[in-house]
Homo-oligomer: A and B are copies of this chain.
Amino acid sequence: MAKPTPLSGFPEFLPAQRYVETTVLDTLATVFELHGFANIETRAVEPMDQLLRKGDTSKEVYVLRRLQEEDGGKDKGLGLHFDLTVPFARYVLENAGKLEFPFRRYQIQKVWRGERPQDGRYREFAQADIDIVGAGELPVHHDLEIARVMLDALGRIAHPDVLGLPGFRLQVNNRKLIQGFYAGLGIDDLDETMRLIDKLDKLPADAVRTQLVESGLSEEQADRCLELATICTPDTSFVDKVRGLGVEHPLLDEGLAELADVVAGCAALVTDRVRIEADLKIARGLDYYTGTVFETRLDGHESLGSICSGGRYDSLASDGRTTYPGVGISLGVSRLLVPLLNRGELVADRSVPSVVLVALTDEAGRADSDTLATQLRSSGVPCEVAPSPQKFGKQIRYAERRGIPYVLFSTEDGPQIKDIRSGEQVAVDPATWTPPPADLKPRITVSTSTTNQMETEK
């Protein structure tokens, strides 16, 4: 077999890179559970008619076929899920009688999209979603809850004890606010206006203004819409700024109140690593949100786009009798990590979990070395035994190449452990010895270039 080459759009990690990813996933799971979110997984496939309900994603679906299947086989209608929202809505309906509402769940899984792989777009990628769904109703305080849980999670990921990333900025807006404002201006096609304003991320304001006018808005209406979109505050001061634009509408009032509640309720969670802001240009394009909307930027890495997005759906799912409103947010784990890992900006210093290499004097001593290893493991110290009784210098280099910090030797005076970084060697009892806490797991470091970049942009 010739050496295989990577498949474009299907990122894979080396062991040390994967360690960084599992650290992020474990941190997320811990925080989500602290907030009472239960984990579920859904199958990778959904019926095609479910996947195609939102017309505009249809081109991205991977359809499945069994190799030996005859035409018209009943598996023909299955495709790989392209997000975790469609499967979750189906899961809620399927299990509604067995779930307790409001139902909080987190779900961390791969999803697949047959997109052209480019610019941080992948064909297979991992997402971490949290959602709260109600049966019939879901009070708006759950929008704040979702924001708080994700801020807590992002804050822990960014913390120097985990990744030490520069900082996350959670941007919040509210569809009712936008739509109420447009309606108060007398604009008819609210969706089209919102779609054009959403282009401010990619186009200059002048170009968007031209398109707004072309879509039928007056110059006055277009200018007001653009003014609204420039409002961005780290606190509830956006309310007065919007009021200052002189537009009035009941839906605008409702949106302002909801957004003010979310921003004010998150104030206590703001640190130098996570911030929240009311950013009134955030609209989430064509997605079917009906209230709060979220996007998130990583400081110094704005080119990654929004790495964590979501919002409120008044109807996440419905079975005709009951409607299930939901609010959620989805962290693009691959979108965040793949570029940083591939560029070497995030690095773990060990390719194996082992903290200790147990040296081997000769092959006859392997059982003794195994016993020492078992003793280390009994106190929770990951370790491995040298594969062959090479000269000790070679065994030490074996450890060095993997980033293993300690080597345990059997000596005439009993077991001794050497820190191969300092060269210090001391007698130990393998049944009770533990390393300093910082050595127990691989160390993750952020490259200086990333940190500097961040400092410059601050």
Contact = CB atoms under 8 A, between A and B. Distances in A.
A49 to B, nearest CB: 10
B100 A319 contact: no
A65 interface: yes
Given A34-B377, A100-B351, A265-B367, A105 B15 contact: yes
Contacts of A99: 14-15
Contacts of A388: 139
A384 B36 contact: yes
A99 B12 CA distance: 14
Nearest to A122: B43
A343 interface: no
Contacts of A381: 34
Contacts of A6: 94
A28 to B, nearest CB: 13
Nearest to A30: B380
A38 B12 contact: no
Given A45-B7, A64-B64, A94-B6, A38 B114 contact: no
Interface string A356-385: 000000000011001000100100111110
B104 A352 contact: yes
A141 B59 CA distance: 51
Contacts of A318: 1
B39 A15 contact: yes
Q: Name which of A114, A351, A388 has the most chain B CB atoms within 10 A of its CB.
A: A114
Interface stretch (A66-74, A158-166, A183-191, A197-205): A66-74
Contacts of A62: 64-67
A420 interface: no
Contact of A22 (B11, B18, B39): B39
B93 A43 contact: no
Interface residues of A, number: 91
Given A18-B39, A38-B15, A353-B38, A63 B67 contact: yes
A227 interface: no
Contacts of A61: 66-67
A276 B63 CA distance: 44
A75 B124 CA distance: 13
Contact of A18 (B38, B50, B374): B38
A18 B40 contact: yes
A381 B30 CA distance: 11
B320 A114 contact: no
Interface string A134-149: 0000010110000010
A13 B1 contact: no
Contacts of A45: 7, 10, 124
Contact of A12 (B91, B100, B104, B124): B91
A59 B66 CA distance: 7
A5 B33 CA distance: 28
B98 A43 contact: no
Contact of A43 (B1, B7, B39, B382): B7
Contacts of A96: 3
18 contacts: A3-B96, A3-B319, A4-B50, A7-B78, A11-B43, A12-B41, A12-B43, A14-B95, A34-B377, A34-B382, A35-B377, A38-B353, A61-B67, A67-B79, A100-B351, A100-B402, A104-B384, A139-B388
Top 7 closest pairs, chain A to chain B, by CB: A36-B384, A66-B114, A15-B38, A33-B353, A36-B354, A10-B43, A59-B68
